[in-house]
Amino acid sequence: MNYRFEKDHVVTIKDFTVDEMESIFELADEMIPIAEGEKKDDDLYGKLLTTLFYEPSTRTRLSFEGAMKRLGGRCIGFAKPGTSSAKKGETLADTIRVAAGYADVIVLRHHHEGAARLASKFSDVPVINAGDGANQHPTQTFLDLYTIQKTCGEIDNLKIGFIGDLRYSRTIHSLAEALSLFDLHKMYFISPEALKAPEYLLEELKEHEVQYHQFDKPDAILSELDVLYCTRIQEERFADRLEFEQVKSCYRIKKKLLEKCGAKESLKIMHPLPRVDELDTDIDSSQHAVYFQQAKNGVPVRQALLAMVLDKNFS
């Protein structure tokens, strides 16, 4: 595959076209044997990635580090801001300037919306957004789309429902934006009133001529869906503890509910993980569960992205 990567940074899903996303997925397919350790590769030998994680992470950080190492590169970084100079009051801009002098690519997770954009202004090496507050999580979106394509055979024309914390979930915000670029004219949002999708996102969907339907329970729509994308209630984003307490266990997807609502045999249930209590473990062994495969897909997809970002004329 010959491909020229045109981006300096990966900050928002809005910077990507469908063709660009499809090139990432094509390369991810080629990366699978390397991701699984069956084939050796040292395409990124001598390259250094730094992970600057100001918020907790399991999948995103480990899969980025795993992806880099499987391609022969190395990693440095921190997983807790308390062990970095942020603790001493260093600004993000200064940390980024310094980290850009040490590494070839920066992977940043931060609680402030817009942090990755700001970082990209202060870095002369590529910055990859690994989640900025409730805003965006573009690399999760690449692996989510890749998983949909792999498990459903296509993305176009599917009926996709989102359930849970539509207000604060950055994975939903990025994924809904990305899906609006595909040939998919309807989306289904299921949440209590307090956790509805933000107005800016709904406006963007309208601009892309996507019709969206909002529900407060899954019952009325579940039987029509091809994909149900669940998220945990994002406890850490609530300014008001009481507000969180009111919605914290507002839904639970379990086998009985799927049966009661007549879910399709082929329904795929996705979740970026971690889960708390919204997705019963009785789904894990069913044909509906794709969330562990989804997490695993993070490695080949992030390998593809790193290869493209670090080797612009990838072939």
Give the binding site for ligand NCD (CB under 6 A). Answer: 59-60, 131, 137, 140, 170-171, 231-232, 234, 272-273
Task: Choose between 77 and 100: whose C-beta lies nearer to ligand NCD.
Answer: 77
Task: Choose between 104 and 144: whose C-beta lies nearer to ligand NCD.
Answer: 144
Our answer to whether residue 112 is catalytic in this structure is no
Question: Annotated catalytic residue: which of 110, 137, 173, 268?
Answer: 137
Write down the least CB distance from residue 52 to ligand NCD, Å.
15
SS3 track for 166-231:
CCCCHHHHHHHHHHCCCCCCEEEEECCHHHCCCHHHHHHHHHCCCEEEEECCCCCCHHHCCEEEEC
Write down the least CB distance from residue 96 to ligand NCD, Å.
20
- CA proximity to 66, closest of 223, 309, 298, 275: 298
Task: Choose between 100 and 176: whose C-beta lies nearer to ligand NCD.
Answer: 176
Question: Annotated catalytic residue: which of 12, 50, 60, 141?
Answer: 60
Our answer to whether residue 109 is catalytic in this structure is yes
Our answer to whether residue 59 is catalytic in this structure is yes
Taking the C-alpha atoms of residue 20 and residue 292, their distance in angstroms, rounded to an integer, is 25
Task: Choose between 31 and 172: whose C-beta lies nearer to ligand NCD.
Answer: 172
Write down the least CB distance from residue 234 to ligand NCD, Å.
6
As a dihedral over the C-alpha atoms of residue 128, residue 133, residue 134, residue 137, rounded to 10 degrees, the angle is: 10
Phi, psi of 300 (to 5 degrees): -60, -35
Cα–Cα distances in angstroms (integers) from residue 15 to residues 97, 122, 136, 139, 170, in the given order: 23, 19, 12, 12, 16
Task: Choose between 100 and 197: whose C-beta lies nearer to ligand NCD.
Answer: 197
Write down the least CB distance from residue 198 to ligand NCD, Å.
15
DSSP string, 111-160: SSTTHHHHHHHH-SS-EEEEEETTTB-HHHHHHHHHHHHHHHS-STT--E
Our answer to whether residue 60 is catalytic in this structure is yes
Write down the least CB distance from residue 275 to ligand NCD, Å.
8
Question: Annotated catalytic residue: which of 59, 97, 208, 255?
Answer: 59
Question: Annotated catalytic residue: which of 47, 70, 109, 170?
Answer: 109
Residue number with the smallest Cβ distance to ligand NCD: 272
CB burial of residue 209 (10 Å; 0-12, 13-18, 19+): exposed
Our answer to whether residue 208 is catalytic in this structure is no
Catalytic sites, residue numbers = 59-60, 88, 109, 137
